A and B are shown apart, each in its own frame.
Chain A
């Protein structure tokens, strides 16, 4: 099977010829996928601004920054394990990224059932992540007395950056879980095999939607990699 895209120049030559070509730049790509990438790029800027403002706040304060490995530690049978909750959350989110990658693979192989099952597993991982985050927030607000404007453990800025950054990320995860559930239902019902028209968009369903969903979900995991490194470990 030879596709038109395979005849186009590749690499750096492809870059110039794609940008110099007629009609569209991103060859062989659905508009939905290209737009998801553009959206993710703009989301990258938002999260970068949050993390950079956190950097500025933390580096310029004269007050002491709370020790995150103690603040986010968990008591296991009487011994305090540093940062345990965050480590578990990280592993859960990475696992859901793994199941999402498999869902995308099975989507392109037109394997309806496995694709839907892996989408559901991904949603389950995401929901578990949000649940643990809710637990973390509850503990910090009710037990430690952390507020966006107040922090009994040290620098005041810690509270506002914590709620802003993890809250914005948690919102992304929550939205992702909702869409994963919708996609799982559509997949299971066979929308992508029968090209059933979407309720809101009235456009024919296509398995490329699973790949676009996957891009969003991997991005959520990607952002967590940076939050984990800069906010929790640094």
Chain B
């Protein structure tokens, strides 16, 4: 808007963005290492999810400025996203049942 022409807004120092950028690189490198070093099983999955959530949280909180937004917006966004976990849980149960029936009918040939 015209009246804002020469008005500068208070912004964050450049350091915080560079820090987050660096951290995202480190987390990405570590999650790549999980594959490179061939970690298996629960250790692998735990590390992948840990690095994934750390990266997602940093991007949303700092890069997308959600940390500084009012709670009205933060809550409107984060609760529906959290509810997706319920959907994941339902579909894990569903796919386990599908796998069971497939093993039962395809392989055992009952």
Contacts and interface: CB of A to CB of B under 8 A. Distances in A.
B13 to A, nearest CB: 9
A95 B69 CA distance: 24
A133 interface: no
Contact of B56 (A53, A60, A226): A226
A109 B9 CA distance: 6
A218 B59 contact: yes
Contact of A222 (B8, B32, B56, B73): B56
Find the residue from B5, B32, B49, B75 having the highest chain A CB count within 10 A: B32
B67 interface: no
| Chain A: number of interface residues, binned into ranges | 35 or more
A205 to B, nearest CB: 9
Contacts of B7: 110
B25 A105 contact: no
Contact of B32 (A14, A87, A109, A211): A87
Interface stretch (A96-104, A139-147, A166-174): A96-104
A94 B25 contact: yes
A211 B77 CA distance: 17
A98 B55 contact: no
A13 B105 CA distance: 57
Contacts of B21: 94-95, 97-98, 101
A225 B6 CA distance: 37
Interface of B: 1-2, 4-9, 11-12, 14, 17-18, 20-21, 24-25, 28, 31-32, 34-36, 44-45, 48-49, 51-52, 55-56, 59-60, 62-65, 69-73, 75-77, 80-81, 84, 87-88, 91-92, 94-96, 98-99, 102-103, 106-107
Interface of A: 8, 10-12, 14-15, 18-19, 25-29, 34, 37, 41, 44-45, 48, 52-53, 55-57, 59-62, 69, 82-83, 87, 90-91, 94-95, 97-98, 100-102, 105, 108-110, 193-195, 204, 206-207, 211, 214-215, 218-219, 221-222, 225-226, 228-229, 232-234
Report the 9 A-B pairs with minimum CB-CB distance, sorted nearest first: A98-B21, A60-B98, A59-B95, A18-B72, A229-B52, A60-B95, A15-B71, A108-B9, A56-B95
